[in-house]
Amino acid sequence: MATKEQLVEVFNSLETMGIGLHVDEITPNSLEPLIEEDEKEFALLDYSVKIRIELLTETVRNTQVIESLKGSFKTGYNATNMVYNEETHMLSFDGRKYALAVKDPEYDANEWYFLEYDPSNPMAAQVLLSDKVMAKFKARMEQ
């Protein structure tokens, strides 16, 4: 869980490491109810993204770093159409991800909150969700 301010700090720290992150587009594909449990509502959000990664320094513009980034985004974002432009030092790709939408009246009865699912680190979601919710979430993602 992170606040908006914490996420901004993460993006700022990426720039310090020589990486600029540009999220050009986020498109919801579908939002489907999953399960209700303990007065909480859970839904599956399937969404697409268009992202550009700008390599700001010579240190990160080497083949090893570029290939590592490609592999990381292929795993984390199911990246397709991945292209590295040597002139602009920009790695761009299309991705598709899932998030779990959660509405918890004890926390906020009017707002949905989103938990992005990272297939390379499923434990993060498993710590926050019940086994029943995780099972429904995983089953729906596999369809």
Condensed to tens digits (0 to 9), the pLDDT of residues 120-141 reads 777 777 888 888 988 898 888 7
User: Can you name the residues that pair with 7 across neighbouring β-strands?
Assistant: none
Q: Are 8 and 21 in contact (CB under 8 A)?
A: no
Q: How many independent structural domains does the chain possess?
A: 1
Closest CA to 109 of 37, 31, 41, 35: 41
pTM comes to: 0.77
pLDDT at 89 over 90: yes
Tokens (6 digits) for 107: 């926390």
Choose between 3 and 47: higher pLDDT. Answer: 47
* Host domain of residue 80: 4-141
